[in-house]
A and B are shown apart, each in its own frame.
Chain A
Amino acid sequence: MPKVKFDILESTCVPLPFENVDTDQIIPARFLSATSRLGFGDNLFRDWRYTKTGEKNSEFILNNPDYSGQVLVAGKNFGSGSSREHAVWAIFDYGFRAVVSSFFADIFTNNALNNGLLPIVISDDLLKKLHNLVQKDPGTKVKIDLMNQTFTILMTGDSVKFGINPYKKECLLKGLDDIDFLLSMKSLITSYEKTKSL
């Protein structure tokens, strides 16, 4: 797993205001045959981004030149379905560093945090407000401050605290890696095995 640091991010947003966007939409199964983590961004939201004949779908937000940025503003229940980490790799590879929603699927949250992609949960109301703002003005910027756990809409000054597991926060701030951490506990693990006589 890669070591990624996250600290402060200020960026414009890309809005995707649909509910229940599942991992099959984020990266369809037919693109999962690769054996490395790279390059999945090309096929992010593939079947929405391209028409059946393979041309760019001009109506899809990623093909709209007005919108860009490192923050994906999604709808409720984002990332449900399959456990494929490829979904997170695709979002990250495309250039996003945070996803904002009012609700994430569990496995998606874990996968995102394990790859330095910050999933930020805000209230339904604030999410709606943000979507409206971004829709009206693609220049709408947000600021994410991980240390202070604050999410701010810069134009309006709306600022909220977001939750994150303190352990994961520390890992992201310092660019630490779970496996290094677990490996340092190897003797504890072996003695656990002995007590269980596994």
Chain B
Amino acid sequence: MNSKTLFDKIWDSHVVRSIEDGPDVLYIDRHYIHEVTSPQAFNGLKERGIPVMRPGKTLATADHNIPTKDQHLAIRDQLSRNQVERLSENCQKYGIELFGLNHLKNGIVHVIGPELGYTLPGMTIVCGDSHTSTHGAFGTIAFGIGTSEVEMVLATQCILQQKPKKMRITLDGEVQNGITSKDIIMHIISEISASGATGYFVEYAGSAIRCLSMEARMTICNMSIEMGARGGLIAPDETTFSYLKRLSSIPGIKDLKSSINEWSNLKSDKDSVFDRDLIFDAGSIKPMITYGTNPGMGMAIDDSIPMTDKSGNEASSSFIKSLDYMGFKPGMKLLGHPVDYVFIGSCTNGRIEDFRAFAQIIKGRKKAANITALIVPGSKKVEQQMLAEGLMELYKDAGFEVRQPGCSSCLAMNEDKIPPGKYAVSTSNRNFEGRQGPGSRTLLASPLTAAAAAIIGMISDPREFITEVKK
């Protein structure tokens, strides 16, 4: 018998045609779009005079450049407003469902897809955004694409794509208190570098992955792209199915029970072969923080910045340039280093679980005076749930103000920018130069580490605040 990985099974069943010596024509089940990477694709359709082939399979949201304050007012920035308006026009013209600004279902594309039941096991999913990998948590092949490819999918519901290689990352062992899935994935990336998985699609497996909630799994899959992988996926299991059962509705699914039966077969065969197989011990992972300008430059929070880069290249100009940008030196410790901003949000850590985690530490405490906090729910639904669970009150009592949903300071297309030279402990996914605003200095971390920094005003070990909190 020919054994197959989960990735192969989903991929192969979506191939409309294989081109000899070329890419596959891959059918796409779900296409998410947003305001920033879609306008040029729609322009392309207009120039060709062709329709969207399957408008019902595309879903739109406005998230990247919208303000997180006074969303009921017109967007002040003219270019941003124009982009959001173009999206509405295009969706209307082509019959695409839009959860735009102020819609009750609005939010970051990778947060709303799953929570509204549009992301389902076994699907192929694309979006003009690299963190589309998030949806892999449900056992899907989900990956980010460029605008030309967005146009391709709008026009034909298919994409031309070379099949990537397969990697399996197994995590066994028991995760310690105060360690979140953010720390797990940051640890993996720091081990294999920001480009270590380029060319691969990753399947995450092992007992430590099985123990994680869906939200936590989404955080892991989300950051697959930060080690260069096209995407990451996790075979669906009881955790996946009970998440889906809890949803109020799942569009297009009439009989959830029989669908779940089908989805239960979505796993890699026992003896299937991966191009690369890596194993990590989850029990040894500590809270993580980045010190440089790519997500591979991360370390345990109580470590010192290494003296050389991963290749042992002491004088590597890129390594030194990166530390210079951050205002750090090789060998330096970061614990106790002052912080100016804290950002909780993004498609990596903007889900309800993340805000609960943040609350665990700030509850009964007060925000440090030197900290400016940007607290941004990933979606309207998350916002409502925070309200319902009393988190808004709790945050307020601790001196925090909660913004309205959007990508916000994750990429700083709106006004939520970190000023030049300032340090931000951020729960987002990229610490690139200027990612959170020109000259901004980003330290990626988990919501718990961000909470500790927000209370102390310095980089602090979240484990000191936690007695028996479980991931």
- Is B434 an interface residue, CB under 8 A from the partner? yes
A192 to B157, CA, bound (A): 11
Q: Establish whether residues B194 and A20, one from each chain, have CB atoms under 8 Å apart when the complex forms.
A: yes
| Interface pick from B3-11, B36-44, B261-269, B277-285 | B36-44
| Interface pick from B15-23, B110-118, B361-369 | B15-23
In the complex, chain B residues whose CB is within 8 Å of the CB of A88: 146
Per-residue A-contact encoding for B143-174, CB less than 8 Å = 1, 0 else: 01111110110011110101010000000000
A178 to B193, CA, bound (A): 33
Partner of B43, one of A35, A115, A181: A35
A35 to B155, CA, bound (A): 19
- Is A36 an interface residue, CB under 8 A from the partner? yes
Given contacts A20-B194, A35-B83, contact A111 B130 (CB under 8 A): no
Q: Establish whether residues B146 and A106, one from each chain, have CB atoms under 8 Å apart when the complex forms.
A: no
> Which residues of chain A (37-80) have a CB below 8 Å from chain B?
37, 47, 52, 75-77, 80
In the complex, chain A residues whose CB is within 8 Å of the CB of B130: 81-83, 107
In the complex, chain A residues whose CB is within 8 Å of the CB of B317: 17-18
| Interface pick from B74-82, B212-220, B390-398, B449-457 | B74-82
- Is A1 an interface residue, CB under 8 A from the partner? yes
> Which residues of chain A (77-97) have a CB below 8 Å from chain B?
77, 80-86, 88
> Which residues of chain B (59-98) have a CB below 8 Å from chain A?
64-65, 77, 79-80, 82-83, 86
> Considering residues A25, A29, A32, which has the most beta carbons from chain B within 10 angstroms of its beta carbon?
A29
A175 to B155, CA, bound (A): 19
Q: Establish whether residues B164 and A106, one from each chain, have CB atoms under 8 Å apart when the complex forms.
A: yes
> Closest Cβ of chain A: how far from B175's Cβ, in Å?
28
A33 to B411, CA, bound (A): 13
> Which residues of chain B (395-418) have a CB below 8 Å from chain A?
411-413
What range describes how many residues of B lie at the interface? 35 or more
> Closest Cβ of chain B: how far from A161's Cβ, in Å?
16
Q: Establish whether residues B43 and A36, one from each chain, have CB atoms under 8 Å apart when the complex forms.
A: yes
> Considering residues B22, B27, B50, which has the most beta carbons from chain A within 10 angstroms of its beta carbon?
B22
Partner of A47, one of B82, B157, B433: B433
Q: Establish whether residues B22 and A80, one from each chain, have CB atoms under 8 Å apart when the complex forms.
A: no
- Is A22 an interface residue, CB under 8 A from the partner? yes
Q: Establish whether residues B152 and A192, one from each chain, have CB atoms under 8 Å apart when the complex forms.
A: no
Please give me the residue from chain A that is nearest to B81 by CB atom: A33
Q: Establish whether residues A80 and B412, one from each chain, have CB atoms under 8 Å apart when the complex forms.
A: no
Given contacts A33-B80, A88-B146, A106-B230, contact A52 B438 (CB under 8 A): yes
Q: Establish whether residues B146 and A182, one from each chain, have CB atoms under 8 Å apart when the complex forms.
A: no
Given contacts A18-B318, A18-B321, A35-B82, contact A178 B148 (CB under 8 A): yes
In the complex, chain A residues whose CB is within 8 Å of the CB of B146: 83-85, 88, 107, 110-111, 114
- Is B432 an interface residue, CB under 8 A from the partner? yes
A19 to B318, CA, bound (A): 6
- Is B446 an interface residue, CB under 8 A from the partner? no
> Closest Cβ of chain A: how far from B248's Cβ, in Å?
24
Given contacts A83-B146, A167-B19, contact A33 B79 (CB under 8 A): yes
Partner of B36, one of A18, A32, A107, A165: A32
Q: Establish whether residues B83 and A83, one from each chain, have CB atoms under 8 Å apart when the complex forms.
A: no
A186 to B316, CA, bound (A): 51
In the complex, chain A residues whose CB is within 8 Å of the CB of B128: 83, 85
Q: Establish whether residues B433 and A24, one from each chain, have CB atoms under 8 Å apart when the complex forms.
A: yes
In the complex, chain B residues whose CB is within 8 Å of the CB of A37: 40, 43
In the complex, chain B residues whose CB is within 8 Å of the CB of A155: none
Interface size on A, residues (CB 8 A): 55
Q: Establish whether residues A25 and B194, one from each chain, have CB atoms under 8 Å apart when the complex forms.
A: no
- Is A154 an interface residue, CB under 8 A from the partner? no
Please give me the residue from chain A that is nearest to B17 by CB atom: A188
A18 to B321, CA, bound (A): 9
> Which residues of chain B (22-51) have a CB below 8 Å from chain A?
22-23, 25, 27, 29, 36-37, 39-40, 43-44, 48, 50
Q: Establish whether residues A25 and B228, one from each chain, have CB atoms under 8 Å apart when the complex forms.
A: no
> Closest Cβ of chain B: how far from A181's Cβ, in Å?
8
In the complex, chain A residues whose CB is within 8 Å of the CB of B27: 189, 192-193, 196
> Closest Cβ of chain A: how far from B276's Cβ, in Å?
15
Partner of B156, one of A110, A165, A182: A182
In the complex, chain B residues whose CB is within 8 Å of the CB of A35: 39-40, 43, 82-83, 86
Q: Establish whether residues A52 and B439, one from each chain, have CB atoms under 8 Å apart when the complex forms.
A: yes
Please give me the residue from chain A that is nearest to B42 by CB atom: A35
In the complex, chain B residues whose CB is within 8 Å of the CB of A165: 21-23, 162
- Is B12 an interface residue, CB under 8 A from the partner? no
> Closest Cβ of chain A: how far from B146's Cβ, in Å?
4
Given contacts A18-B321, A81-B430, contact A115 B148 (CB under 8 A): yes
In the complex, chain B residues whose CB is within 8 Å of the CB of A193: 27, 157
Q: Establish whether residues A25 and B44, one from each chain, have CB atoms under 8 Å apart when the complex forms.
A: no
- Is A105 an interface residue, CB under 8 A from the partner? yes
Given contacts A1-B148, A165-B22, contact A47 B434 (CB under 8 A): yes
Q: Establish whether residues A25 and B162, one from each chain, have CB atoms under 8 Å apart when the complex forms.
A: no
> Considering residues A47, A80, A86, which has the most beta carbons from chain B within 10 angstroms of its beta carbon?
A80
Per-residue A-contact encoding for B413-436, CB less than 8 Å = 1, 0 else: 100000010000000001011110
In the complex, chain B residues whose CB is within 8 Å of the CB of A20: 194-195, 293-294, 296, 318
> Closest Cβ of chain B: how far from A129's Cβ, in Å?
17
A22 to B295, CA, bound (A): 11
A186 to B50, CA, bound (A): 13
- Is B129 an interface residue, CB under 8 A from the partner? yes
In the complex, chain A residues whose CB is within 8 Å of the CB of B435: 24, 29
> Closest Cβ of chain B: how far from A85's Cβ, in Å?
4
Pick 22 A–B contacts, CB within 8 A, sort by A: A22-B430, A24-B411, A28-B438, A30-B412, A33-B80, A36-B39, A52-B420, A80-B194, A82-B430, A88-B146, A106-B164, A106-B198, A110-B146, A111-B146, A111-B147, A168-B22, A179-B44, A182-B156, A189-B25, A193-B27, A193-B157, A196-B13
What 7 new A-B contacts, CB under 8 Å, besides A20-B194, A32-B36? A29-B435, A32-B64, A32-B65, A85-B146, A103-B195, A106-B230, A114-B146
- 5 A-B pairs with the lowest CB-CB distances in the bound complex, closest first: A167-B22, A33-B79, A35-B39, A85-B146, A111-B146
